[in-house]
Amino acid sequence: MYNFDNHVDRKSSDSIKWHKYSGQDIIPLWVADMDFQSPPSVIEALHQRVSHGVFGYAHPNPELYETLIYHLQSTYNWQIKSDWIVWLPGLVTGINAACRSSASNNEAIVTTTPIYPPFLTAPRYSGQQLVTTSMKLNRNQWQLDLDELRSCINNRTKLFLLSNPHNPTGRVFKKKELLDIAEICLKKNMLICSDEIHCDLILEPKCKHWPLASIDPEIADRTITLMAPSKTYNVAGLGCGFAVISNDRIRRRFKNAMNGIVPDVNAMGFAAAHAAYKHGADWLAALLKYLRKNRDLVFEAINNLPGLSMAQVQGTYLAWIDALALPHENPHRMFEKAGVGLGNGSDFGAPGFLRLNFGCKRSLLESALKRMEDAAGKDTKPETLLET
């Protein structure tokens, strides 16, 4: 019914992903942006909104609230109220608002590494100290080191930035892991900002996404949850996300941090979000089936290449590749020269690693993996490659 092998020409569009290597024979697999068309229901809703012809300031209609509340209840057994929702033009905005509203200048915010780059920049933009704790690979599974997390928290640490499912490692944290994290933060009277933008992209059938705030009311009372349809339904360019904040005081502070800085969500973003959450289930099921095959293809190929390895991806459409064993100081540049544009691990706080976006048609992915195989298999001497 849905053809994810269909060719969609993005080279001549406004795509940031494809524009980066414009005019070069480099397959772009870097930014978290799929090459698939959005669900037909979303495209139809946008056509209907355009045909209306008036594009003034927009506000979410009551039916969108009802649809979103039903989605969270039916998918995650998480009951929320409409006044807990704060609409955002993007989740990066939410991360920055969480930092500005949760800590004062020179107080500390802690997160993991590797991590989505805005987690590393947002505290500094707000004049706060960034503290990081490293994730560890244990039995081929990325995990938080709870002892290390405890050791890096002091009375100046006010917020923990969590990514679940985790970007870039693809981990879907178990309920027990989330409880352990929350227990540490609550004992230290910290808030938690949980970025759950990839929550609907669970690839491993045995895994389940637990919204952190859904686990326990006490945890919810200290949690800012960030979600959006953007990654799941490939509508990031329409700029629509939301925060769920049950605590009135925290929600007011969050909104105050946005005042005068953050624009409203646009009309097209609201229309796309409504259609996606109300009518996108069948398309999403087909997408997940396709992505699982792409994931397995990447997992097998990467773990059979000299100098490369990766853990299995449980959620997201992102593979986190260990390239430390390659005889190259800059594996990112090495693969760019081979015609594959990957995410640079340095941006995620982990030099020597690479992030690969497998949210693309399979033939393109196969071509990229073949180029990586050719590059990694060459009998070359160690060399230093400078970033350009």
Q: Do 358 and 30 form a contact (C-beta atoms < 8 A)?
A: no
- Which residues in the chain show pLDDT less than 50? 379-388
pLDDT in tens, 109-156: 999 999 999 999 999 999 999 999 999 999 999 999 999 999 999 999
User: Can you tell me the distance from the alpha carbon of 192 to that of 172, in angstroms, rounded to the nearest whole number?
Assistant: 17
User: What is the bridge-based pairing of β-strands 318-322 and 309-310?
Assistant: antiparallel
Q: Do 292 and 184 form a contact (C-beta atoms < 8 A)?
A: no
Supply the pTM of this predicted model. Answer: 0.96
User: Can you tell me the distance from the alpha carbon of 224 to that of 98, in angstroms, rounded to the nearest whole number?
Assistant: 7
- pLDDT for 377 equals 85
- pLDDT for 381 equals 43
Residue closest to 314 by CA, chosen among 109, 143, 156, 62: 143
User: Can you tell me the distance from the alpha carbon of 356 to that of 318, in angstroms, rounded to the nearest whole number?
Assistant: 6
Q: Which two tokens mark 333? A: 């540049």
- pLDDT for 203 equals 98
- pLDDT for 378 equals 72
User: Can you tell me the distance from the alpha carbon of 260 to that of 338, in angstroms, rounded to the nearest whole number?
Assistant: 46
The three-state (H, E, C) secondary structure of 97-123, written as one string: HHHHHHCCCCCEEEEEECCCCHHHHHH
User: Can you tell me the distance from the alpha carbon of 297 to that of 320, in angstroms, rounded to the nearest whole number?
Assistant: 14
- pLDDT for 1 equals 84
Distance from chain centroid for Cα 21: 22
- pLDDT for 380 equals 44
Phi/psi-derived region of residue 306, left when phi > 0, alpha when psi is between -120 and 50, beta in every other case? beta
- pLDDT for 384 equals 38
- pLDDT for 335 equals 98
User: Can you tell me the distance from the alpha carbon of 188 to that of 155, in angstroms, rounded to the nearest whole number?
Assistant: 7
- pLDDT for 164 equals 97
Q: Which domains does the chain have, with CATH numbers?
A: 16-38+281-376 (3.90.1150.10), 43-279 (3.40.640.10)
319 Cβ contact list (under 8 Å, min separation 6): 170, 295, 298, 299, 302, 310, 313, 355, 356, 358
